[in-house]
Amino acid sequence: MRMRGRVVAPAWSLALAVLAVGPLLGNGYLLLRDAVSTPRSYLTDSALGLSDAAPRAVPQDAAIAVLSSVVDGGVVVKILLVAALWGAGWGAAALVRRVLPGIRTSGEVVAATLAVWNPYVAERLLQGHWSLLIGYAALPWTVVAAVSLRQSGTWWPLALCAGAAGITPTGVLLVAVLALSVLFAPGGIRRGRRLLGTLALVVVVSAPWLVATAMGGSGSAGSDPAGVTAFAARAEPGLGTVGSLVGLGGIWNSAAVPTSRTTAFAAVGTILLLLVAAAGASYLWRRRRNPVLTAVIVVGASTVAVITLAATPWGLSVGEWAARAIPGAGLTRDGQKWVALWMPALALAAAAGTRRFGRPRAHAAVAVVTLLIALPDLAWSLAPVTYPSSWETVAQRVDDDHGDVAVLPTGTFRRFDWSGSAPVLDPAPRLLHADVVATGDLPVAGGLVRGEGTRATAVESVLLAGGSPAELAALGVGWVLVERGTPGALGDSARTLDGLEAVFSDADLALYVVPDATIVRATTSDRAITAVAHLVWAGVVLVAAAVGLWRRMVRRERSTDEA
């Protein structure tokens, strides 16, 4: 019976994960706003974080490049996305079992539902932040791992959490904040050693983007302060900024929200979610002397407060100053993403609510239905995209022996008639076996947040001015790819294209070759050092997983022998 209870929450979490992304599991690829999956990607300099833009997708892009050499890249992303949502719910249940051992399976199911079915997950899915959701999923497991470290000095669970979340820089920082908060709380063994060890672990799993930042030089400069206001947390209909954040909503992009969150129902949904959580508030209050529980709640509530302040005029001014003056501060400009730290506290409170009433199962059923009703359009929220055949043809033609690729129209985002109505990140940088020279400029709310790509800016200027092929070649451009049917600036680029040889052309794409291009690549030593950093990160994940699997097998053998 006990074993059956432990299966219920993971099974329910998997069902919710599949329900959320349903159609995506069919044929096709995830291509929506910031999410780009392709049949195959490559270990280009950009994938390793060695371009002049900030390494925001490191080690994610390198990991997908390696995995997609064995399994179709679209399948890899789907598996990781479903695993993230599944892991978030399962982790919330495990968190309840570890921190609130008096709560039954029904409470674990409520916690799992809240962790998977909430505005944060919905909005990040629609924004295309599938890899950020891996870090989000690691948060409840991080608390469980930190408790194990406090009690027995066991390191591998925390190493696995930090390593998995480390697929993005934000993910590992989320885990670091939560882990250090729990490990700093009074009690447990070897407090100083566990804190120093965790800091060292965070640095090790952050090696790919830390090394890439140092090698590429992007970490020595600030970022565009316009991004602070553009990416600040946003008040949703019927809610102030703090109300949106407390309910796990408030993403900066008003277009990347479910339809139900664009009307006054956003307030209704938030109230329903908070009522489920509030039902357990008194139960948690009576256990406030539990240092782990207190740490989880304090870090979550403090995060909501800080993000709210950051969205005020005073907070925006401070953020703009930091963006200009502090290298790497741009990593924190999307303030709402940090509200993920509030989820474990809400999940615990929601689970605790099942102890307030005489019939835990009945209350759990009502709570689960309430959470689902609060966000009905999270179900079936993603659809796959099929690339026109010309993209495969171009991918086979392009190689890095002739230089990098410039793309027309200029800009980072596209609106193809075959990809749906939402803007999509240009898939060329992840599809082609050569670096695509991209500025990283982001159109946001009618404005433009400048990226760090200085060479790409020069390339765009040459194309828009109708410059000569020789000018492009001198900048390291060996190919020009024209993506038809999408808005964007073309300038006088037709004059440049007239001087180039077209090697492929159809209704969707045209590919031109630029003769005698200068080859611009990272040095062999830089690539080797960066590759080692990626291997260190991957090694932490694989070794931690192997240790955990081995220990589980040993425990099973001992249980069998004792039986």
pLDDT at 2 over 60: no
CA–CA distance, 356 with 290 (Å, rounded to integer): 19
pLDDT at 330 over 90: no
**Percent of the chain at pLDDT above 90?**
83
pLDDT at 444 over 60: yes
pLDDT at 124 over 90: yes
pLDDT tens figures, 166-216: 999 999 999 999 999 999 999 999 999 999 999 999 999 999 999 998 886
H/E stretch holding 529: helix 524-562
pLDDT tens figures, 242-251: 999 999 999 9
pTM for the whole thing? 0.96
Structure tokens at 86: 């599944």
pLDDT tens figures, 144-158: 999 999 999 999 999
Provide the terminal-to-terminal Cα distance of the chain, rounded to the nearest Å.
Answer: 17
- Residue whose token pair is 């674990």: 108
CA–CA distance, 544 with 524 (Å, rounded to integer): 30
Give the start-end residues of each E strand in 378-488.
Answer: 404-408, 413-414, 424-425, 442-444, 447-449, 477-483
| pLDDT, mean of residues 34-48 | 96
pLDDT tens figures, 55-76: 889 999 999 999 999 999 999 9
**Percent of the chain at pLDDT above 70?**
95
CA of residue 75 relative to chain centroid, distance = 17
pLDDT at 54 over 80: no
Q: Do residues 135 and 516 touch, judged by C-beta distance below 8 A?
A: no
Longest CA–CA span in the chain (Å) reads 81
pLDDT at 440 over 60: yes
CA–CA distance, 146 with 140 (Å, rounded to integer): 10
CA–CA distance, 372 with 272 (Å, rounded to integer): 10
pLDDT at 221 over 70: no
Q: Model confidence at 333, in pLDDT bands (50, 70, 90)?
A: confident
Q: Do residues 168 and 57 touch, judged by C-beta distance below 8 A?
A: yes
One DSSP character per residue, 156-219 reads HHHHHHHHHHTTSHHHHHHHHHHHHHHHHSS-SS-HHHHHHHHHHHHHHHTHHHHHHHHHHSGG
| pLDDT, mean of residues 349-355 | 95
Within a 10 A sphere around the Cβ of 380, how many other Cβ atoms?
12
Q: Do residues 398 and 139 touch, judged by C-beta distance below 8 A?
A: no
pLDDT at 328 over 70: no
pLDDT at 449: 78
| pLDDT, mean of residues 346-368 | 92
pLDDT at 6: 81
Please tell me whether residue 502 adopts helix, strand or coil conformation.
strand
Q: Model confidence at 220, in pLDDT bands (50, 70, 90)?
A: low
The residue ranking higher by pLDDT, 326 or 424, is 424
Structure tokens at 340: 């993920």
What average pLDDT is seen over the chain?
Answer: 93
